[in-house]
Amino acid sequence: MTSDVTDDKTIGRRGGAYVGLAAALSALVGFVVLIIAARALTPAENADFQIFWAALFAAFGVLSGLSMETTRTVTAAGPNGGSGPRVLLVGTGAALAAGAVFAATMPFWHDAMTTTPGSAGTWTTAAALAGGVMGYALHSTLVGSLAGTRRWGLYAVTISAESSVRLLLVVLVLVLGSGLAGFAVGSAAAAFTCLVVLLLSPAARRAAWTRAEEPALPLVRRILAAFVAQGANAVLVVGFPVLLRITTPDEVMATSAPLLLAMTLTRAPLLVPLNAYQGVAVTHFVRNRHLGLRAALPVIRVILAVGAVGAGLAALVGPWLLDLVAAGYRLPGYVLAGLTADAALIAVLTLTGALCQATTLHRWYLAGWLTATGAAFLVLLLPMALDTRTVVALALGPVLGIAVHLLGLRRARTPLAPSAEQRES
């Protein structure tokens, strides 16, 4: 498969088509896995799987900061590479460190993976989460290096392979009847698919062996800042059920499966493709730093338009579709419309954050995401119904985070080449 590299474009039509297909496949696999789980597991087990799924993809979201930083530094280094360390070695170190942290802290958080604390299965799901984190650190490094070198065909193959293997493993678990633990292990183990790609593809190995633009210490500082920012991102995007779990009584949370499923289903059409295109976005923003916010405005307009149309459709047919996906799962149309609009705001926040990160405004990038997540958490502490708290939190948080990012971009007035002040670590 070709790399679809051009001298004047971030991505060509063929590469865009490859990434689009990969994004569609990722979204479809997410839908299918959640539908299979909703039908195969009991409501209580499915609520636990929803919490595990949220925690897993929240962790993956944190590690996407490694992907974005790898993309940024490889793009900035140019075709001949930079003077820094090999990005694959950096990614391997991140994988080992993340696995060690999760393993060492597991006794303190494994019970949070279930609505019935004390369940023996929580150790299995917690171990699956720790293993998945290690695999995804390597996956993030690989896709980041492929985006930075504009090997879009192979980038799309890597994303598609990871999603496809996840679906195959979940189907295998369904056939074997392994229950909740099997669903958790299968969902997490797919992250190691990147090792197969590295083994089979010389081009993937060359991309992952590229040297970073900057020396190791500045790169590690920026990666850590990206981890914190993407951690806030992940909590808001896919880890939100964990916040709900913290702020909601057990008896209310035990009935939350319809809301948790609705949040996932309303976000997937926008946020899953956007996640696949983040590498493209960061590469484009790095190559067009002189445009500042104008580099992102066309996509932001499209996202807001899609969000408005999607919210209207969610209000009209959303309740029927939710019941079709999981019989007996019911929510009012206005809640589904609000969740869909919230997804559009989170997508815009993701883009403005990527723009700050690509132009090395890491402090503003971090501040925007921390503001958004902090505001959302405070709303969840208010004495309101669970669905109302959720919709309001997921609207107010992103709006405030976007405002912080726009303030940072306005103050920086991104010039053609980043100044010393902009190169914040």
In terms of C-beta distances under 8 Å and separation of at least 24 residues, what long-range contacts does 331-334 make, across chains too?
331/258, 331/259, 331/262, 331/387, 332/387
Give tens-digit pLDDT for 159-199: 999 999 999 999 998 888 778 888 999 999 999 999 999 99
CA 253 vs CA 43, 160, 317, 391: distances in Å: 12, 33, 25, 16
User: Of 7-21, 33-47, 284-298, 317-331, which gets the smallest average pLDDT?
Assistant: 7-21
Average pLDDT value over all residues in the chain: 84
Give tens-digit pLDDT for 373-416: 999 999 999 988 888 999 999 999 999 999 999 999 888 764 43
Going by C-alpha positions, the residue among 156, 146, 126 that lies closest to residue 59 is 126
DSSP letter for each residue of 266-279: HHHHHHHHHHHHHH
Task: Give percent above pLDDT 90 in the chain.
Answer: 38
H helix runs in 149-249, sequence order: 152-176, 179-189, 193-200, 202-208, 216-237, 240-247
* Sequence spans of domains, the chain: 13-412
- Measured CA to CA, the distance from residue 294 to residue 290 in angstroms comes to 9
Task: Give percent above pLDDT 70 in the chain.
Answer: 92
The number of beta carbons lying within 10 Å of the beta carbon of residue 347 is: 24
Length of the chain: 425
Give tens-digit pLDDT for 110-145: 777 766 655 556 778 888 999 999 999 999 999 999
Give tens-digit pLDDT for 253-296: 877 888 888 888 888 777 877 776 777 888 888 877 777 788 88
Q: What's the pTM?
A: 0.76
pLDDT of residue 155: 92
Q: Which residues of 309-340 are buried (b: 16+ CB within 10 A; e: fewer)?
A: ebbeebbeebbeebeebbeebebebbbbbbbb
Give tens-digit pLDDT for 340-360: 999 999 999 999 998 888 888
- Placement of tokens 């809640």 in the chain: 335
